[in-house]
Amino acid sequence: MNLFQKVLLASAVVAAPISAVAQEAATLDQKVNEAFATTTGPFVNLIFAPFPGTSFPWIVMWLVVGATVFSIYFGFVQFRFFGHAVRLVKGDYSDPNDAGEVSHFQALTTALSGTVGLGNIAGVAVAVGIGGPGATFWMILAGLLGMASKFTECTLAVKYRNEYPDGTVSGGPMYYMKKGFAELGLPGGGFLAIMFSVFCILGALGGGNMFQANQAHAQIEGIVGEFPGWITGLVFAGVVFAVIVGGIKSIARVTEKIVPFMGILYVGASLVIILMNYDLIGWAFGQIFAGAFTGLGIAGGFVGALIQGFKRAAFSNEAGVGSAAIAHAAVRTKEPITEGFVSLLEPLIDTVVICTMTALVITISGQLLIDETTGNYILNEAGTAIATIGDTSGVALTSAAFGSAISWFPYVLAIAVVLFAFSTMISWSYYGLKAWTYLFGEGKGAELVFKVMFCVFIVIGAAANLGPVIDFSDAAIFSMAVVNIFALYFMMKLVRRELNSYAARLKSGEIKAYTH
C-alpha cells in the first residue's frame, strides 16, 4: 500500500461516519418537518378557512374590519394626533421629576425591536413574491389602519396593568381583558384572558420563534452552503438559553444596541438602492398601484395581492395582535393614553416605512420575472408564486434583490437577519413568558418550563421547511388577534373616554409641554 492509498483509506474511514451523520441529519430534518406539518395542519386550516364559496380567508377580513372600525371610532386618531405622538417620544411632555423611569422613547423602541425584523425582510418578500408588487399597496393601507388598533390596545395595556409592591409591572391584553370586562360589568373577561394567553404562547413559539429560526437558517445557508437546520437551531437555542435562563443580560443588551443601528443601516441601504435607480421609482409605484387592483397576472388576481398584503402587514407590525401591548405596558405615565399615541407610530415605522422599502427594492431589482409581451408577471411551475431569478423566495429573494445592486450587501443582510431574529426571539420569549405566568403563576419553576420549551422550538423551527412553519406562525399570531380584537370592541369606549378627556385638557392648556 503506497502513501496515496493509505491517505485514501484513512480519509474513507474518517468520511464514512461523517456521511452517515449527514444522512441521519437529513432524515431528522425531514422527520421533524413531516411531524410538524401533520400536527399543526388542522389548527392552520381553521384559522385560514376561507369564506364559503370564496378563497378569501375570514381572518384577513377580521383584522381589516377591526382596524377600520377603530380608525373610524376614534376619528382617525392616527392622523389627528400624529404630531403629538412625535412630541411625546421626543420627551416634550415628560415631567423632569420622572427622569429615570421608562420613557416613551424606550417603550417604543423596545416594542419596535420585537416587531421590526424578519417580517420586514422575509415576510415582505413572501408577500411580493406571491401577491406581486400590488401587495405593497394593501400592506401600506393595512399599516395605516393598523395604527388605530395599536393605539387602542396599548392605551388599555397601560391603564389596566398590574403594579406589584416591589415596583415591577406586568401588563398586556390578558390583564386588560380581565380587569376591563369586570369594570364594564361584562362576563367572560377571565375566559378571554386565558384564551389569549394560550394563543400568545403559541404565537411566541411560532412567529416569535420558529419562523425566526427558520429564516435565520435559510440566510446562513445562503452564505455558507447547505447544512442541516438543527445545527443552526442548536446554536440559536444555546444563545437564547444563555440569555433567558442563564440571565446573561450582556448578550441581550448588546443586541438591543446593535439592532436599531442595523435597522437604520437597512433603511439606508434601501434608500441608496432606490435612489441609484431613481428612473425606476415611478415605474415601481406604477406596478404597485396597477398590481393592487389587477394583480398583474399573479395567482388569485387582485384578491391574491390584497390577502398577501394584509396578511404580511399584520404579521410584521402585529397591530391588533396584542403582543406589543405587553411591551408598552411598562412605561411610567400618569396618562395611559399617551402610550397609545406613541404606539401608533409603530405600524408607521414598521410597515409604511420599512416594509415599503423592502418591497420597492425587490420590485426595482427585477428579480420578479415579467412577460415582456403582456407586462404581467410569470408564475413558477407550480403556479403558486411569481417566478424569480434563481427561484428564490422569502429572505433569499430580498437578499438577491439587494445583492443585485450592492454585491456585498447580502453579507450585511445575513448578519442583520441573524440579529433581528435573535432580538425578536428575546422579545417574544418575554411576551410568551408573560402569558405563561398569567396562566401558571409567577414562579421560578413554571418560568423555567416555558423557557426550556421555547429553546426546544427554536431547533424544530430551524429544521422544518418554510411552508409549514410560516403557516403555523401566521395561524398562531392571528389567533391572538381573534381574541384581542373581539375584546377591544367591548372596551374601545373606555379608550374613547380617555381620549376625549385628554384632548379636552390638551386644548384647554391643562396639559402643558415641559419643553417647547
> What residues line the site for other proteins (CB under 8 A)?
91, 94, 96, 99-107, 109-110, 113-114, 166-170, 249, 252-253, 256-257, 259-260, 326-327, 330-332, 426-427, 430-431
Long-range pairs of 253-258 with CB within 8 A, sequence gap ≥ 24: 255/419, 255/422, 255/423, 255/426, 256/110, 256/113, 256/423, 258/419
Q: Which is nearer to other proteins, 162 or 376 (CB)?
A: 162
Instruction: Count how many Cα atoms sit within 13 Å of the Cα of residue 493 in the half-sphere of its side chain.
Output: 4
Minimum CB distance to other proteins, residue 331 (Å) = 7
Distance, C-alpha 512 to centroid of its chain: 35
Minimum CB distance to other proteins, residue 26 (Å) = 37
d(C-alpha 148, C-alpha 305), whole Å: 23
Minimum CB distance to other proteins, residue 254 (Å) = 10
User: What value, to the nearest 5°, has the Cα angle with vertex 384 and ends 378 and 388?
Assistant: 45
Can you list the alpha helix ranges (DSSP code H) found in 336-465?
A: 336-343, 345-347, 356-365, 395-405, 409-440, 444-463
How many helices and strands in the chain, by DSSP H and E?
A: 23, 2
Q: Which is nearer to other proteins, 370 or 452 (CB)?
A: 452
Minimum CB distance to other proteins, residue 96 (Å) = 6
Type of residue found at 207: G
Q: Which is nearer to other proteins, 94 or 398 (CB)?
A: 94
Q: Which is nearer to other proteins, 96 or 187 (CB)?
A: 96
Q: Which is nearer to other proteins, 228 or 432 (CB)?
A: 432
Q: Decide: helix, strand or coil at residue 99.
A: strand
CA dist 248 → 251, 252, 425, 458 (Å): 6, 8, 15, 18
Minimum CB distance to other proteins, residue 516 (Å) = 16
Minimum CB distance to other proteins, residue 426 (Å) = 7
Minimum CB distance to other proteins, residue 252 (Å) = 5
CB burial string 381-397: b at 16+ within 10 A, e below: eeeebbbbeeebbbbbb
Q: Decide: helix, strand or coil at residue 379.
A: strand
Q: Which is nearer to other proteins, 34 or 98 (CB)?
A: 98
Q: Which is nearer to other proteins, 259 or 460 (CB)?
A: 259
